Amino acid sequence: MLALLAAAVACQAPALAPPRPPERIALPGGIAVTAADYLDHLYAAIGSARLRELLLDRVLARAVERIDPATLAPATAQALADPDAHARALRDARIAERHGGSRAAFRAHLAAIGITEDEDLWATRVDGLREARIAALVQAAREPTPARLRRVFEEHYGVDGLRVVVRHVFQSFGAERHRLAQAGGTPDEETVAENVRRRMAALMALHENGTPFHLLVARGSEDPRGRALALDPAHAHRAGEIEGYNFQHFGPEFADAVRAMQPGDVRGPLRTSHGWHIVRLESVTRTEFADVEEKVRELLRNEPPSLAERRELLARLAAEYGVDAALAR
């Protein structure tokens, strides 16, 4: 088993040299640890899981050789062409996301978990190259079926090509239930619903008397982000916006109301299973599939592998190359 691992490692020829342990470390008192000892220790600690991963990496590398680079999505092709640069870009993105862009904080984190920067970069390279190879193989084999094209079309252009921008003021039954319970009451559903309805009706009356919609959001929305946008002149026009509204948020009652509205309309109070709403339709954009079919095909081709696609690919390659049979004890 260890010989198999050594052979798999030996076939690597990366531009970035992997950090390697010394062949032998000697301590006072005649204590010594060799590279082989370390390999035995790793195998005892984590078993064959990493060995299987390494073998699949080699299988992925072989399988990718059969793909025409010209057919690859640009980002995938770039990651495969320059895995070192890809690794550094991934590391920089991780530092920005997890450490606020601070290299010092990143280094402190590595020191705390006992990993050097070279070791971290190498691990990032290995993971990044693996994911790029998986993406290449999945994207090359992904058929542009009508169902897949329809899914991508609706994700980017709305259900049936209808993209709407919707804003709302929302107060939930759950928040009112909690408020009444905190005050020592035992709220029944009718009381909860009526309390929320009255507040929303008062807000709607303000709007009918000339109060701008963003001020309704500021006064009545449960969403702190929406209230903050409402008080920011540069972003007040987005206060209460339901990002990515697709006629599924808040159920069919909400969707029916939106479909019946024209841009600029405000309706409410509207009851759904979630609570009460005051709804404003900002805009409607209609797109025909035929007009954007080539763009949709390109979006599908460039789409990252789903978890199901990833699992299916690795299972197929493991079976094709007999990975698990080779690891059988």
* Cβ-Cβ contacts under 8 Å for 219 (sequence gap 6 or more): 203, 206
Give the C-alpha distances (Å, rounded to integers) separating 216 from 90, 194, 203: 42, 19, 6
DSSP per-residue codes, 185-239? ----HHHHHHHHHHHHHHHHHHHHTT--HHHHHHHH-S-HHHHHHHT-TTTGGGT
User: Are the C-beta atoms of 235 and 167 separated by less than 8 Å?
Assistant: no
At 8, the amino acid letter reads: A
- Mean model confidence pLDDT for the chain: 90
pLDDT band at residue 5, thresholds of 50, 70 and 90?
Answer: very low
Q: Which residues contact residue 261 at a Cβ distance below 8 angstroms, ignoring those fewer than 6 apart?
A: 267, 279, 281
Amino acid 39: pLDDT: 86
Locate 261 and state its tokens: 């509205």
Lowest-pLDDT choice from 240-249, 252-261, 303-312: 240-249
Distance from C-alpha of 222 to C-alpha of 144, rounded to nearest angstrom? 42
Residue 190 has a CB neighbour count (10 Å cut-off) of 8
Rounded to whole angstroms, the Cα distance separating 158 from 148 reads 14
For the entire predicted model, the pTM comes to: 0.70
Tokens of 283: 């805009």
Q: What SS3 state is found at 26?
A: strand
CA distance 213 to 210: 9
Residues 210-232: tens digit of each pLDDT: 999 999 999 999 999 999 999 99
Q: What average pLDDT score do residues 281-287 get?
A: 94
**CA-CA distances (angstroms) from residue 139 to 63, 153, 221, 255?**
13, 17, 43, 34
Q: Tell me how far CA of residue 48 lies from CA of 2, 9, 133, in angstroms.
A: 10, 14, 22
What single-letter DSSP state applies at residue 142? -
In angstroms, the first-to-last Cα distance of the chain is: 9
Q: Cα 253 from chain centroid?
A: 29
The answer for residues whose C-beta is within 8 angstroms of residue 308's C-beta and 6 or more apart is none
Helix (H, G, I), strand (E, B) or coil at 116: coil
Residue 320 has pLDDT above 80, yes or no: yes
Residue 271 burial (10 A CB sphere; 0-12, 13-18, 19+): middle
**Distance (Å, rounded) from C-alpha 132 to C-alpha 60?**
10
What's the CA dihedral at 211, 215, 220, 221 to 10 degrees? Answer: 140
Task: For the chain, give percent helix, strand, coil, nearest 5.
Answer: 65, 10, 25
pLDDT tier, 131 (very low <50, low <70, confident <90, very high otherwise) = very high
What are the tens digits of pLDDT across the range 157-209? 988 898 999 999 999 999 998 888 888 877 788 899 999 999 999 999 999 99
Output the furthest CA–CA distance in the chain (Å, rounded). 89
> What number does CATH give the domain 162-286?
3.10.50.40
Domain range list for the chain? 2-142+303-327, 162-286
Residue type at 98 in one-letter notation: R
